[in-house]
Chain A
Amino acid sequence: MIARLLTIFLLCVAAGTALAADTGLKPKLDIGKGGQCVDDPKFMRDNHMRLLRHQRDETLRQGVRGGKYKLADCVECHASAKTGRVVGTDDSFCQGCHRYAAVRIDCFECHASKRKALPESGK
């Protein structure tokens, strides 16, 4: 009985998720540059937090520079073309998705959220 209920519940959840995706409930993001970056977008979506955490410890504590998963490079590519930032508005690359997933993001309390080179005006 319990197994049957659980199956029904899981099916409902799966259907709900599929519906949400179909009806466009995903966050609309203002991505500076989308598509393939240092890895497959799906892989990055699932694992960016682990990759960043791993690399930050190596860089800070051991001094390993030039790694593949660099927060500064995330900002460089994905900052909004309008504001030059990955946080600040509800459609910003980092903030938009974190808001949707209800996960607090505190990287940018210390780290720069702004692209180094300012976006060209009028674009």
Chain B
Amino acid sequence: MSEIDPSRRKFLGSSSAIVAGLALAPGLLLIDTAHGRPAGEASSGKVRWGILIDTNQCKPGCNDCVTACNQENGLSGGTQSTDSQWIRKVELKDMRSGRTASLPMMCQHCEKPPCVDVCPTTASFKRADGIVLVDKHRCIGCRYCMMACPYKARSFVHEALTDQRTEVPRGKGTVESCTLCVHRIDQGLGPACAAACDKAGHHAIVFGDLNDPDSEISKRIRSAATTQVRSDLALNPGVQYQGI
């Protein structure tokens, strides 16, 4: 039932290459980078994936992005200090005005990630398209990256795991964090949190290519005031917030 016909795959690969070739005609950008790359092609530095979170749209009490993340990546959903949490909902309150805001917080996929700087085994790395990941084949579980991260975005797996998802390998003794749903991005889908937010009708999480001036996220960032959390650190996070 799930047999793969290699000739079909080859046809799909070559046809998408032809489409890409057509799109490169001068002055015309027909490539929508949200489509998956053809098989065998590496991620490109021309793309920088990012997320814009509109806190005006984010509903207090709604936890759909967290639930979707847990389900997509096979996390337990526990919130103790020893449980893996790739995304958390945070409620903010300005004590002077009483204004409240709700937002999800996760790995900010920095352009200059401190977790990558401190990693002694180069397990922590940034992919060409700006996604910060942990190579668990190299991770020795020292947790320097967890200390270096100003966003407290990383978790350590304390216990042996079973029945991990095929697309999301996870294991005891390694550090992990939001992967921006890299397995979905490579298929041409966005992160599960963004999909869940859209499904809930809030549209607070906008995912896209920060390098493409015509992408929705770039247009939004150009037209509205957005904030990078801890911008004083000059890490240039790929995750940005509106309305805080």
Contact = CB atoms under 8 A, between A and B. Distances in A.
Interface of A: 56-58, 60-67, 72, 75-76, 109-112, 114, 116-117
A63 B128 contact: yes
A88 to B, nearest CB: 10
A64 B166 contact: no
Contacts of A110: 136, 161, 164, 169-171, 174
A63 B174 contact: no
A60 B172 contact: no
A97 B133 CA distance: 33
Interface stretch (B39-47, B54-62, B65-73, B227-235): B39-47
B9 A66 contact: yes
B198 interface: no
Given A109-B172, A112-B163, 8 more contacts: A62-B127, A62-B128, A63-B186, A65-B37, A110-B161, A110-B169, A110-B174, A112-B169
B2 A116 contact: yes
**B2, B13, B129, most chain A CB atoms within 10 A:** B2
Nearest to A73: B4
Give the size range of B's interface with the partner: 20 to 34
Contacts of B41: 64
Contacts, number: 63
B166 A116 contact: yes
Contacts of A65: 36-37, 39-40, 186
A69 B213 CA distance: 37
SS class of chain B's interface: helix, strand, loop or mixed? loop
Q: Which 8 A-B pairs have the closest CB atoms?
A: A66-B39, A63-B43, A110-B171, A62-B42, A110-B169, A112-B166, A111-B169, A109-B171
Contacts of B186: 63, 65
Interface in B73-119: none
A63 B129 contact: yes
Contacts of B9: 66
Nearest to A76: B2
A62 to B, nearest CB: 4
B32 interface: no
A109 B13 CA distance: 33
Given A109-B172, A110-B171, A117-B2, A72 B40 contact: no
